Amino acid sequence: MIHRVVELQEQGNHAHLERGFLVVDKAGEEAGRVPLDDIAVLLFSGPGNSVSTNLITALADRSVCAVVCGDNYHPKAMVLPYDSHHLHRQRLEAQIGASEPLKKRLWQQIIRAKVENQSACLRRCTRPDPTLDVLVHRVGSGDPENVEAQAARRYWAGLFDEGFTRDPARPGINALLNYGYAVLRAATARALVAAGLYPALGLHHTNQANAFVLADDMMEPFRPLVDAQVHAIWSTGSSEVNTTAKRTLAKLLVADVATADGHTILATALHTSAQSLARSLLDGAATLDLPDSLFPSR
């Protein structure tokens, strides 16, 4: 399967279904087409775009996630399939019935992996920060000391510069991060739905206005892969969300990661982690299967 990110950026595009293809028309003429089976994520980032209901149905049949972005590439809405797993009810009941201790242990695994990957990202992109390696071991069940925030302060200063602040409303680096995270979030949500899980029931994030809190939970360990790519773009002297940057960030779904079973691509690792979450909820044991490294050396 090809994991492509398709974006409708220019104003006035109309996307529709034609014989197994997503076809984009502009001003009454065909502007491009992509096989549906090649698509992982469809992004709507331009104003005045439209889409046919037949296309949305066909995308849902293939578990493709459609994302509508607002200002600064911040996701505003997602469309996902409703009945993509034959054990959907069983897994929904497991999510609803999950105990607080189990959810806290799962969150502990997620944050430990996130901080480990942040440390690896700094080693890859700038310089090591031994403090992050120490903080990994201070993450308790549910992260009561909020080690995640402590690590973030050191991490962002080490990755970009002391004056950098992660703020989704700001342009430049923040806009690049928004775009990369939008792709990652959509791919994570897609993997969760394919595993029969309901994205609105989170482990830690509890924003009642957010229907995809579980995707926000499960994407946390994978964020440093986006961060490293944004750093690479920024290091060239550019922080503009242009076509080249978007193509680079969209390729993250096929980025190489290392697992206990060998090397695989990010999209597959997301599905593996989602399936392991489903098993953890069903079995009552915190046994997430997350990559050993987001930055493997061959």
CA angle 201, 249, 264 (to 5 degrees): 70
> So what's the pLDDT on residue 210?
77
Cα separation, 35 vs 26, in Å, equals 18
Residue in 78, 58, 76 with CA at minimum distance from that of residue 67: 78
* Type of residue numbered 275: Q
* 4-62: CATH topology: Ribosomal Protein L15; Chain: K; domain 2 (3.100.10)
- Residue pair 65/7 in contact (Cβ under 8 Å)? The answer is no
Tokens representing 185 are 């979030």
How high is the pLDDT of residue 9? Answer: 84
- Element (H or E) spanning 100, and its range? helix 100-125
- Do the domains 88-283 and 4-62 match in fold? no
The CA distance from 213 to 198, in Å, is 10
H helices, E strands: number in the chain: 10, 10
Reading the chain (298 residues) residue by residue, the pLDDT tens digits are 568 899 988 888 899 999 999 999 988 899 999 999 999 899 888 788 899 999 999 998 888 888 888 877 878 888 887 665 567 788 889 999 999 999 999 999 999 999 999 999 999 999 999 999 999 999 999 999 999 999 999 999 999 987 888 988 899 999 999 999 999 999 999 999 889 898 889 999 877 667 789 999 999 999 999 999 999 999 999 899 999 999 999 999 999 999 998 999 999 999 999 999 999 999 999 999 999 999 987 5
Residue type, position 213, single letter: V
pLDDT for 83 equals 60
Please state, in angstroms and rounded to a whole number, the distance separating the CA atoms of residues 183 and 232: 17
3-class SS of residue 276 = helix
**Domain locations along the chain:** 4-62, 88-283
13-18 and 50-51 strand pairing: parallel
Q: What is the pTM of this model?
A: 0.89
Q: What is the pLDDT of residues 111-155, one digit of tens each?
A: 999 999 999 999 999 999 999 999 999 999 999 999 999 999 999
Architecture of the structural domain at 88-283:
Up-down Bundle (1.20)
Neighbour-count burial of 225, counting CB atoms closer than 10 A to its CB (0-12 exposed, 13-18 middle, 19+ buried): buried
